[in-house]
């Protein structure tokens, strides 16, 4: 950030704008997928009585990415909703990945290291923290 | 109460929660959790999940609006 020689590659304003657009696109995409899934789910199950006062946990097919995709392709509402939530969770992670790339292009070594640490913590916790 | 009516009421509540959360900077969770558990009698674990999702959405949107 302090090197004026490479500043023409990516200014801070351009970076902010890029990351802002990415976040907005991710949230809007996730919202669209969830709304589509909710529409499918409500059409099929809208007239049932909810039993949300009992906690059941998610069914096993909604706990893995592969299971969720299988549910999406068989056009199940809950699979679509879950896919939308996955997109929503992936959005801030994509933002960090993109900032690593931009800082690398700007040859801003210190910020690349900082952002990589953030990315490492994110990925570690996403994998269940068991590594 | 059917799932349809439940979703509709919850949608209205979440709209208010998002507005209040964005205005105060607290995220929607502070409204959504009591709304789900105390008003609708939903299990607290579902409410916590809903609150986490709303935190991701509001914080992403806020930082995009402010230009991070």
* Segment B18-38, tens digit of pLDDT: 888 778 877 777 888 888 889
Residues of B in contact with A31 (CB under 8 A): 57
- CB proximity list for A93: less than 8 A, separation 6 or greater: A119, A122, A123, A126
Going from N- to C-terminal start, the domains of chain A cover: 11-126
Looking at residue B14, its pLDDT comes to 87
pLDDT tens string A39-81? 888 888 877 777 777 777 777 777 777 888 888 888 788 888 8
Name the residue among B2, B56, B64 with its Cβ closest to that of A20: B64
Select from B30, B64, B66 the least CA-distant residue to B50.
Answer: B30
Compute the nearest-CA separation of B32 from chain A (Å): 15
Whose tokens are 């609006």? That residue is B65
User: Is pLDDT of A1 > 60?
Assistant: no
Select from A13, A33, A131 the least CA-distant residue to A80.
Answer: A33
Q: What is the ipTM of this complex?
A: 0.79
Per cent of chain A over pLDDT 70 is: 92
How does residue A131 score in pLDDT terms, banded at 50, 70 and 90?
A: low
Per cent of chain B over pLDDT 70 is: 93
How does residue B65 score in pLDDT terms, banded at 50, 70 and 90?
A: low
C-alpha A1: how far from chain center:
27
Lowest mean pLDDT among A78-87, A107-116, B22-31, B50-59: B22-31
Six-digit token pair at B13? 């509540």
User: Is pLDDT of A4 > 60?
Assistant: no
CB atoms A47 and B2 under 8 Å: yes
Looking at residue A115, its pLDDT comes to 93
Q: How far is CA A123 from CA A90, B3, B49, in A?
A: 10, 35, 20
C-alpha B68: how far from chain center:
22
């Amino acid at each position: 950030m302090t090197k004026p020689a490479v500043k023409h590659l990516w200014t801070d304003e351009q970076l902010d704008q890029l990351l802002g657009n990415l976040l907005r696109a991710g949230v809007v995409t996730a919202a669209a997928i969830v709304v589509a899934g909710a529409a499918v789910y409500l059409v099929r199950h809208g007239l049932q009585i909810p039993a949300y006062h009992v906690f059941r946990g998610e069914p096993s097919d909604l706990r893995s990415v592969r299971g969720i995709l299988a549910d999406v392709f068989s056009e199940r509402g809950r699979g679509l909703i879950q896919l939308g939530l996955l997109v929503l969770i992936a959005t801030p992670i994509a933002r960090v990945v993109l900032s690593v790339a931009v800082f690398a292009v700007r040859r801003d070594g210190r910020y690349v290291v900082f952002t990589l640490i953030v990315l490492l913590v994110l990925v570690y916790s996403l994998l269940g923290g068991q590594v | 109460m059917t799932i349809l009516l439940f979703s509709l009421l919850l949608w209205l509540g979440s709209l208010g929660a998002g507005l209040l959360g964005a205005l105060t900077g607290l995220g929607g969770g502070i409204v959504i959790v009591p709304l789900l558990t105390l008003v609708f009698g939903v299990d607290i674990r579902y409410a916590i999940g809903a609150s986490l999702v709303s935190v991701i959405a509001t914080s992403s949107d806020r930082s995009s609006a402010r230009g991070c």
